[in-house]
Amino acid sequence: MPLHYLYLILAVLAETIATTALQASQQFTRFGPTVLVVIGYGLAFYLMTLTLRYMPVGIVYAIWSGLGIFLIAIIGWVVFGQRLDLPAIFGLLLILVGILVIHLFSNTTGH
């Protein structure tokens, strides 16, 4: 796996942790989760800048935000009990399909 994909995966994970902590921070009233939000987003953006050395910003952002949306929706459902209806599940699957199309068929991803 190319190093820039590792950076991107780690950026997605850092963003996912930060966004989960954002929910847990209860509008920044809990110190621990609030610190995790700041550190997680800072790390996510730093790792994205490393990825941008190898891939175009539009592709990086599409993959980063798409995977983040998908993972946060799953975490919201599993951890916070937030319900997903059929249209939401279908939309999330379309996001995954879009990411796969970019990765498998686009020459701009740098793989």
**What confidence category does residue 104 fall into, taking pLDDT thresholds of 50, 70 and 90?**
confident
Range 7-27 average pLDDT: 96
Range 36-46 average pLDDT: 97
Range 62-85 average pLDDT: 94
Q: Could you tell me the pTM of the whole model?
A: 0.88
Q: Round the average pLDDT of the chain to a whole number and report it.
A: 93
In the chain, how many domains are there?
Answer: 1
pLDDT surpasses 80 at 65: yes
pLDDT surpasses 60 at 111: no
Q: Do the Cβ atoms of 25 and 34 come closer than 8 Å?
A: yes
pLDDT value, residue 97: 96
Domain that holds residue 92: 3-109
pLDDT value, residue 106: 84
